[in-house]
């Protein structure tokens, strides 16, 4: 019974290494693109739920009430007069990088509200994967 020689094993390891070097960058690029797409999808769903909240209650939740008001009935002002039993979404999603989505009402620059994520770095600003994403990116 014959085994593999050291040369044969080295050749196989080199071939596997070359394949990994070619394939890995393509896979990692798609992972980041998928995270951005998921974040935009979450923002769209949260924006829709906030609009339904406003239709029922005549106001968006305050910054203090936050988007948690979509899941549990908020206290404080403005009081939601027609809050839907069961809420507007079953639970708040985390962004693809594991952080909470940010919300402010009223929004800056004339927006009714601001809904955004800080991206991969979790900090304001940034480029590429660290870019902040908001409902403005949906348009």
Task: State yes or no: pLDDT of 19 exceeds 90.
Answer: no
Q: For position 56, what pLDDT does the model report?
A: 95
DSSP code, position 26 = H
Q: Tens of pLDDT along 114-124?
A: 999 998 888 88
Domain 8-138 -> CATH class: alpha beta
Tokens of 115: 């809904």
Query: Quick one: average pLDDT of 79-105?
Result: 93
CA 59 centroid distance within chain: 24
List the domain boundaries for the chain.
8-138
Task: State yes or no: pLDDT of 12 exceeds 80.
Answer: yes
Q: In which element (H, E) is residue 93 found?
A: none
């Amino acid at each position: 019974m014959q085994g593999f020689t050291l040369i044969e094993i080295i050749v196989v390891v080199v071939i596997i290494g070359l394949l990994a070097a070619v394939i890995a960058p393509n896979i990692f690029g798609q992972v980041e693109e998928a995270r951005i797409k998921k974040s935009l999808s979450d923002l769209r769903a949260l924006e829709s739920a906030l609009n339904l909240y406003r239709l029922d209650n005549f106001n968006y939740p305050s910054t203090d009430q936050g988007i948690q008001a979509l899941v549990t009935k908020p206290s404080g002002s403005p009081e939601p007069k027609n809050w839907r039993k069961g809420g507007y979404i079953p639970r708040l999603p985390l962004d693809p990088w594991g952080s909470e989505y940010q919300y402010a009402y009223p929004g800056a620059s004339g927006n009714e509200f601001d809904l955004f994520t800080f991206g991969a770095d979790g900090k304001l600003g940034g480029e590429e994967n660290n870019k902040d994403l908001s409902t403005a990116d949906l348009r």
